[in-house]
Structures are given as structure tokens and as C-alpha cells.
Amino acid sequence: MKIDGITTRSIWLEADGHSIGIFDQRALPWSIERLILSEMEQAADAIATMATRGAPLIGAVAAYGLAMALRQDSSDQALEAAHKHLAATRPTAVNLRWALDRVAAHVRPLPQHRRPAAAYAEAARICDEDEAMNRAIGAAGLPLIREIAARKPGQPVNILMHCNPGWLATVDWGTATAPIYLAHDEGLPVHVWVDETRPRNQGALTAFELAEHGVPHSYVTDNAGGLLMQQGLVDMVILGTDRVTANGDVCNKIGTYLKALAAHAHDVPFYVALPDSTYDPATPDGASVPIEERNGKEVSTVTGPDTEGVMRQITVTRSPVRNPAFDITPAALVTGYVTPRGVLRGAEELASLIKE
Ligand code: MRU
């Protein structure tokens, strides 16, 4: 997709052949800064500090992180230690462990001298596949938007979105944004309600992306969705996910569950977009997903540039804080799963998402 008018992925291999480039998402949307990661420790740090974020993207960065570690030391012990270290950076998105397991399984049987190159090649394949899957999610979700557009000619299709399931959270295209980009590109009148997604304001990243692509949108508080649905101003909800469990429960950014409840109450279809790598058949249900608890300072403060562009942090409370970063939406509240294999309904159909 485009950033600052330049077409790019959110992750790329640098000319030296072993470092990767990413956008520092802590600086977005105020400034576009690139980070070069050359060592496993830098990749791990980028994931843990959310310089890079989004379920599929942290998987891709971790995959390259493992390749970087093997470049230094390709022994069995080094492989297992790097896998463990990178897997511990964030607990909730299954894509992280999936990508690490995949690279490790690919290189383990190889002689040590062949492991680094093989790991880099596998990480590149993970990136290529992620882009292809997101395009396929776009193609699967587009008819849902077309259908609504056909029912209300001349009026915008209003779509509510939470967090950033966009290209900045993936390798390219995004998951839930892919159908919207395609709909907009074919001239359908779409308008997106973008939840701000406190405390990390991932909605600001979604808004930034949509603006770059010229998609009409409005930035709203996390609590606005209920009223908008009550007023008939939401035609569908579509959002991404960090893990879908065997029974179809959806783990996604905190606040998703409340949107699902409101959508259910108002008969608004609630779609969840995911690539194969986000499906976790090994975890039976949402209650078994480890929910990341982040630093309370993210809630008790607000950070952003002042009118002069200088970054400021303002304290909003000195009370004790809890900061769970994800929640669970029960499968019963999900209208459909928009996947590279089409729109799937229910846990049985989801089982067709066989992961490598
Ligand atoms: O910003 P994060 O890494 O905490 O959030 C993860 C996500 O990007 C989302 O929950 C997203 O909706 C997953 S879909 C790409």
C-alpha cells in the first residue's frame, strides 16, 4: 500500500540481505520513521515495545528475528534459545508463535551451515503468503460490501472498525481493510467509522491508512459505536483478530466484545477477517487464550504532539489502573469469518483453515 505517496510493504529486506526495515509505529501517524533491525535482540525489542505491531506483522518480524539469530549462531541450542526469547515478547497473537514454529521446523533438519539462508527464505515466504492471503480476504469480503451497497443505492455503506487491522498490522493490504480498499477502488461509496482504540490509539493508524488511500472515514471514540448502531448508521462491523480458537471464539483488541454485543442487539452483521495464520485449532476456546496485560501508564496517560509538534505525555489519573489489551468475543456473536478461503460460518467451516 502507500505511505507518503510511496508504494511499500510494512516490512522489507534491506540491501545488505540480512537486515529488515520496518516503520516505527510509535511515531505514526505524526511522523514517518523507518527502523532497521539487524540482530535478533533488536527484532525482539521492536515487538515488545510495539515499534512494530499487529498480529501478522509481529509474526513476520519474529521470523526474520530467528533468521538473524541463526546468522550469529546456527547451533541447536541457539535456535531453541532464540525461539524462546522471541516467543516471549508478546503472549496473545498466535501468529507470533506460529511463524517461529514454522521457521524453526523448516531449519531444524538442516545442517547448521544451511540454516541461516533457509530461515531467511522461509521468513520471506511468510511475508509473501501474508500479502496473498490478505488480497484473498479482500476478494472474499468485497461481495459483502457490494450486497449492502446494492440495497441502498446512492448512499454510503457505513462500516465500523476497531483497532488497526490494516496493512500496517500485516505485511500488506491488511485483513479487515482489504475488502474496504477493493470496494473503494471499484467505486463503491464506503465510509468507515474508525474507533480510536484507547489506550494505544491504533484507530489513528487505521485513519492514517484510510486517508492515504482516499477512503472516506470518521474517527470516533470507543464508546460511540452503540449510539451509531442505534441510529442505523452502521451497516456492518468488520475487524481483525489476534487469535481465533477451535470453537470460533475471537480474541481481538480490547473493546471488540462490546462492539459485538451492540451489533448483536441491533442486528448489525459482525464479521471477523483473518488469514490462516491467525486460526489456532490447538486452543479450544477463548477462555484459554493468554490475555496480555500491559503497563498501566498507557491508560493513566495520553501521549501526542503539542501544537508545536513536540511530543508530550499528559497524566489523566493517579488512580490504580488495569490494562488488559485484548478481549474475547464468543463465536455466537460472529456473523462470519472472512478468510482467504471465503466467508466461513461457524467452527466447523473454520476447520478448513489448515495451517502449514
Ligand atoms: O496493536 P496490537 O499489536 O496490540 O494489536 C494487534 C492488532 O493489530 C489487532 O488486534 C488487529 O485487529 C489484528 S488484525 C491484523
Q: What is the pLDDT of residues 166-225, one digit of tens each?
A: 999 999 999 999 999 999 999 999 999 999 999 999 999 999 999 999 999 999 999 999
Ligand 1 atom having least distance to the Cα of 54: 8
The C-alpha atoms of residue 40 and residue 48 are separated, in whole angstroms, by 12
Mean pLDDT, the chain, whole residue set: 97
Q: What is the pLDDT of residues 172-187, one digit of tens each?
A: 999 999 999 999 999 9
Tell the residue nearest (CA) to atom 15 of ligand 1: 165
pLDDT at 356: 47
Q: What is the pLDDT of residues 88-133, one digit of tens each?
A: 999 999 999 999 999 999 999 999 999 999 999 999 999 999 999 9
50's grid cell:
510495539
55 C-alpha to center of ligand 1: Å? 5
Asked if residues 286 and 350 have their Cβ atoms less than 8 Å apart, the reply is: no
Work out the pLDDT band at 5, boundaries 50, 70, 90: confident
Which value, in Å, is the radius of gyration of the alpha carbons in the chain?
20
Work out the pLDDT band at 153, boundaries 50, 70, 90: very high
Tell me whether strands 301-305 and 326-329 are parallel, antiparallel or unpaired. unpaired
pLDDT at 144: 98
Please give the share of the chain, as a percent, with pLDDT higher than 70. Answer: 99
Mean of the pLDDT values across residues 314-327? 98
pLDDT at 211: 97
246's grid cell:
477451535
Asked if residues 291 and 92 have their Cβ atoms less than 8 Å apart, the reply is: yes
Ligand 1, pocket residues at CB < 6 Å: 53-56, 163-165, 169-170, 175, 200, 202, 239-242, 252-253, 325
Report pTM.
0.97
Tell the residue nearest (CA) to atom 12 of ligand 1: 240
CA distances from 21 to 14, 88, 119, 172 (A): 6, 22, 17, 14
Tell the residue nearest (CA) to atom 8 of ligand 1: 54
Q: Which residues are catalytic?
A: 242
Ligand 1 atom having least distance to the Cα of 326: 10
Q: What is the pLDDT of residues 32-52, one digit of tens each?
A: 999 999 999 999 999 999 999
Work out the pLDDT band at 355, boundaries 50, 70, 90: low
Ligand 1 atom having least distance to the Cα of 274: 14
Q: What is the pLDDT of residues 52-76, one digit of tens each?
A: 999 999 999 999 999 999 999 999 9
Q: Has residue 354 got a pLDDT over 90?
A: no
134's grid cell:
490478505
Q: What is the pLDDT of residues 250-272, one digit of tens each?
A: 999 999 999 999 999 999 999 99
Residues 6+ apart with CB under 8 A from 205: 25, 28, 29, 164, 166, 168, 169
108's grid cell:
531444524
The C-alpha atoms of residue 54 and residue 50 are separated, in whole angstroms, by 9
Which of 101, 103, 95 lies closest to 54 in space, CA to CA? Answer: 95
Asked if residues 10 and 185 have their Cβ atoms less than 8 Å apart, the reply is: no
163 C-alpha to center of ligand 1: Å? 6
Work out the pLDDT band at 353, boundaries 50, 70, 90: confident
